Amino acid sequence: MRVLLVSYAERTQAEPLVPLAWALRCAGHDVLVATQPELVETMADSGLPVVAVGRSLPLYRLWDHAEHEGDADGDLDLVDPTVPLAWETAAPAFADLVQWWFRTANEPLVGDLVALCREWEPDLVVWETVTVAGAVAARACGVPHVRFLWTYDFLASVLRRLRDVQPPGATEPLTAWLTTVAARFGVELDPAAVTGDATITFLPAALRRLDDPDLTYLPMRFVPYAGPVVVPDWVHDEPTAPRACVTLGTSALDRFGRLVVPAATVVRGVAAVAAEVLVTLDGPEDAGLDPAEVPGHVRFVGRVPLDAVLRTCDLVVHHGGPGTAMTAVAAGIPALVVPEEFDAPVLARLLADTGAALRLGLDELTEASVAEAARRLLDDPVLREETARLRDALLATPSPHDLVDALERLVEHPAPCPETTRGAER
Note the pLDDT tens digit of each residue in 230-251: 899 999 888 888 999 999 977 6
Nearest residue to 348 (alpha-carbon basis) of 366, 321, 368: 321
Nearest residue to 68 (alpha-carbon basis) of 323, 246, 258, 265: 258
Classify residue 256 as left (phi > 0), alpha (psi -120 to 50) or beta.
alpha
- How much is the pLDDT for 253? 64
Residue 363 DSSP symbol: G
- In 3-state terms, what secondary structure has residue 152? coil
Neighbours of 376 (CB within 10 A): 16
Alpha carbons 200 and 208: distance in angstroms, whole number? 12
Q: Containing H/E element for 300? A: strand 298-300
Alpha carbons 327 and 335: distance in angstroms, whole number? 11
Beta bridge partners of residue 246, listed in sequence order: 279, 317
Tens of pLDDT along the chain (426 residues) come to: 999 999 999 999 999 999 999 999 999 999 999 999 999 999 999 999 999 999 987 665 555 544 444 444 445 478 888 888 899 999 999 999 999 899 999 999 999 999 999 999 999 999 999 999 999 999 999 999 999 999 999 999 999 999 999 999 998 999 999 999 999 999 998 877 999 999 999 999 999 999 999 999 999 999 999 888 889 999 988 888 899 999 997 766 666 566 778 899 999 999 999 999 999 999 999 899 999 989 999 999 998 999 999 999 999 999 999 999 999 999 999 999 999 778 899 999 999 999 999 999 989 999 999 999 999 999 999 999 999 999 999 999 999 999 999 999 999 986 544 344 444 333
What one-character-per-residue DSSP string does 399-414 give? Answer: PHHHHHHHHHHHHH--
3 state SS for 181-209: HHHCCCCCCCHHHHHCCEEEECCCHHHCC
Note the pLDDT tens digit of each residue in 119-149: 999 999 999 999 999 999 999 999 999 999 9
- CA dihedral sign of residues 21, 22, 27, 33: positive
Residues in contact with 305: Cβ distance below 8 Å, sequence separation at least 6, in sequence order: 224, 226, 229, 230, 231, 235
Nearest residue to 105 (alpha-carbon basis) of 7, 203, 32, 185: 7
Residues in contact with 21: Cβ distance below 8 Å, sequence separation at least 6, in sequence order: 3, 5, 31, 33, 46, 48
Own/partner pairs for 344-350, CB < 8 Å, 24+ apart? Answer: 344/319, 344/320, 345/80, 345/320, 346/79, 346/80, 346/81, 346/152, 346/154, 346/210, 347/151, 347/152, 347/207, 347/320, 347/322, 348/320, 350/152, 350/206, 350/207, 350/209, 350/210
Question: How is the beta sheet containing 335-337 ordered, strand by strand?
Answer: 298-300, 276-279, 243-247, 315-318, 335-337, 357-359
3-state DSSP percent of the chain in helix, strand and coil, to 5: 50, 15, 40
Domains of the chain are 2-221+397-422 (3.40.50.2000), 233-395 (3.40.50.2000)
- CA dihedral sign of residues 129, 134, 138, 139: positive
- In 3-state terms, what secondary structure has residue 40? helix
Alpha carbons 83 and 221: distance in angstroms, whole number? 30
Nearest residue to 370 (alpha-carbon basis) of 320, 331, 318: 318
Record the pTM: 0.91
- How much is the pLDDT for 417? 40
Neighbours of 368 (CB within 10 A): 12
Residue 284 DSSP symbol: G
> For the purposes of burial, counting CB atoms within 10 Å of the CB of 61, is it exposed (0-12), middle (13-18) or buried (19 or more)?
exposed
**Contact assessment for residue 278 and residue 296, using Cβ atoms and an 8 Å cutoff:** no
**Half-sphere exposure in the Cβ direction for 71 (13 Å, CA):** 8
- How much is the pLDDT for 84? 86
DSSP strand pairing (357-359 vs 198-201):
unpaired
